[in-house]
Amino acid sequence: MSALGIIPARYASTRLPGKPLVDLGGQSMIQRVVAQARLAGLARVVVATDDARILDHVRGFGGEAVLTRADHPSGTDRVWEAFELLGQPAEVSCIVNIQGDEPFIHPAQIDALVGLFAQSQPPAIATLIKPVLTEEELFSPHLPKVVTDQRGNALYFSRHPLPYQRQHAPAEWLAHHRYYRHLGLYAYQPAVLRQLTLLPPSPLELAESLEQLRWLEAGFQIQTAVTELDAFGIDTPEDVERARLRISAH
């Protein structure tokens, strides 16, 4: 089994332009993501970018990168174009879409997804979920939640806490049910990834602004793996300062 890690990295960002090149303790954010991904059991790690500055920077520190179109509507589409640019290597059993703004991603989280594809019946799509621990997490619309069936397949993703507990006040929900939030790390079979890029936006996706709902509506199954490890995404200048403090503390 050969797993390929692809890291989509756009230069443009509404809240933090040039985000992949932001300095975090002497290394760029994208350099730290690549370094963490290389610690996982991936055969290859490639950055997929829309900007020559990021391309040159990644190659400058010894990373592998490809230049993709700038007009992709999502990271999923950028990952597929990168796979095409790499020649669609036949030995790849799964493609892992690694967020380019998570410089502290745990290699064990990547390995948890890759391990699912070693099963006799590998999933079409796999993603990570994590137990919700606080009310702030539970009710934040910025942290999507997920409900699964008894085999760990996703039933629905929402920015609202699900299920709604009719018999309890919202402040008591965590005490009476185990909720999960979704972490934006995906792995796909290559043929499935190609099919996903051909799907039009769906009603549930447009309502929640969650791309994975498009896949569920189209009938694709998404298997989940549970992690206790947290995620640390960087979207704002305030997040950058928090990341720098974390690095300096270690």
Q: Which two tokens stand for residue 9?
A: 């990295």
Distance set, CA 95 to CA 37, 62, 88 (Å): 13, 21, 11
The structural domains of the chain, ordered by start, are: 1-105 (3.90.550.10), 124-230 (3.90.550.10)
Q: Which two tokens stand for residue 250?
A: 């270690």
**pLDDT at residue 249 in the model:** 85
**pLDDT at residue 65 in the model:** 98
Segments of the chain with pLDDT less than 70: 1
**pLDDT at residue 143 in the model:** 93
**pLDDT at residue 1 in the model:** 64
User: Which residues does 96 contact at the CB level (< 8 Å), separation at least 6?
Assistant: 3, 4, 5, 6, 42, 110, 113, 114, 185, 186, 187
- Give this prediction's pTM: 0.94
**pLDDT at residue 92 in the model:** 94
